[in-house]
Structure 1
Amino acid sequence: METIEAIRTRRSVRGFTDESISDEIIEQVLDAGRWAPSGLNNQAWRFIVVKDPETKIALSKLTEYGPTIKNAQVLIVVFLDKDHMYNYTKDVQSIGACIQNMLLAIQSLELGAVWLGEILKNKDMVNKVLDAPEPYELMAVVALGHPARKERISDRKALSHLVFREKFGLHW
C-alpha cells in the first residue's frame, strides 16, 4: 500500500474479529514505531505488548473503551521512559509520531487499530496492572486486531480552513 493511500484510508477501528495476530506481525508494527524521529535520536518510547485475556480484562476496567480493550487481539501499551528523556515536549511529540507510524503499518498490513488516550486518566493504575517500571509514563494504548467488517468513512476540513499564508487571515 502506498504511503499516501495508507494515510487517507486509515480509520480508527474499535471492533475486532477473534482471528489471532502473529508475533511476526506485531514485531513489524513495533519496528515501524521505532523508526519514528526523536530528539537526539533518544528513542524514549517503550512498549508493553499485552495478549493475555485476564490482563486485557483488568485494563478494560480502567477506561470507557473497555469493550475495545477486551476484544482487541493485541494491545500495544506505549510509554515514555523518563530516564531516557531529552525534552519532555519533544519526546511526547516523537511518541505521537511513533504511534502514527504503527497505525500506518497496521493499516498497510490490512489490520485495524485505534489509538486510545482516555485511559490516561488512570495511568497509575495501568502501570500497576502491567507492573511497568517506575520511570515509565503511560502515553497511549494501541488496540489492534483484524477489523470486524464495517465500512468506515471520515471527512476532513478543507485545507483553506486550516492553512494560512505568512500574514494571518490570508487563506491558502
Structure 2
Amino acid sequence: MHSLLKNRKSCRKYLPKSVSIQDVYTILEGARWAPSGKNGQPWRFVIVREKEIKNRIADCSIYKDWMRDADTYLLIYLDKESSYNYKKDLQAIGAAIENICLQASSMGIGTCWIGEILKMEAEVNVIIDVPNTYELMAVICVGYGEKETFRTNRMELKQLVYKEIY
C-alpha cells in the first residue's frame, strides 16, 4: 500500500490509448467504497468520453491544452439532497476522489484531480445538464500516461507533525 501511495502522481501527459469502459467502472467501484458519514454516499459520478463534450469542458479550464489528451473525464458531484452534513460530505467526497486516483494508479492508469475548474462550475453544469441539486466537486482526467520522470517533492514528516500541542 505504501508503495502505491508514494508512486501515485498527477498525470498531465496522456497517450492516445483508450481506457476500457470496464476499467472506468472498476475505478469508480473503488470510489464507491470510500467512507462517508452515516454511509450517506453523497457522491455522484458523470463519465465523459465523447470528444466534443470533453473539449467543451476543457475550455472551462486553464489546463485545457493537456486536458484534451486525457481519454476520459470523471466529474465528481455532491448530491445536496443526499447530504446530511456539508463538511463531512466534503471529506467523504475527498476520500472517494483519492480512491479513484489510487485505484487507477494500481491499474497503471494515470489521473489528474482538477479543482481549478470549480471556478467555472456553472458553465460545466450547463454542458453536463446536471440537476441543480448537484454541486461540482472536481473533474478527474483519466488516461494512460506517458512515462514522466518528474516527481514533486514532499516535506519531511517532521515538518508536518506536532506531538500533543502545536
Task: Give the alignment's TM-score, normalised by structure 1.
Answer: 0.94
Q: CA deviation at 1:25?
A: 0.3
SS of the equivalent of 1:77 reads: strand
- Paired with 2:99 and 2:144, the residues of 1 have a C-alpha distance of 18
> In terms of mean alpha carbon deviation, does 45-54 or 62-71 score higher?
62-71
Partner of 1:61: 59
Amino acid at match of 2:69: N
> Equivalent residue of 2:141, what SS?
strand
User: What's the offset of the Cα at 1:149?
Assistant: 2.0
Query: Which consecutive aligned stretches of 4+ in structure 1 deviate over 2 angstroms post-superposition?
Result: none
- Residue of structure 2 in register with 1:100 after alignment: 98
* Counterpart pick for 2:140 among 122, 139, 142: 142
Q: Distance in 2 between matches of 1:5 and 1:158?
A: 17
- RMSD of aligned alpha carbons: 0.8
Aligned equivalents of 1:67 and 1:47: distance in 2?
23
* Unaligned runs of at least 5 residues, structure 1: none
Q: Which runs of 5+ in 2 are unaligned?
A: none
Measured against aligned partners, the alpha-carbon deviations of 1:65-93 in whole angstroms (never above 9, x if no partner) come to 11232111000000000010010000011
Q: TM-score under structure 2 normalisation?
A: 0.97
What's the offset of the Cα at 1:152?
2.9
SS at match of 1:125: helix
In the alignment, what sits opposite 2:2? 4
Aligned-partner Cα distance in 1 for 2:102–2:46: 19
Displacement of 1:107 in angstroms is 0.6
**Equivalent residues, number:** 166
- Give the alignment partner of residue 46 of structure 1, picking from 32, 44, 47: 44
* Superposition deviation, residue 40 in structure 1: 0.3
CA contact (8 A) 1:113 1:143 kept: yes
Structure 2 SS opposite 1:102 = helix
Q: In the TM superposition, what is the alpha-carbon distance from 1:23 to its structure 2 partner? A: 0.9
Q: Which amino acid aligns with 1:32?
A: G
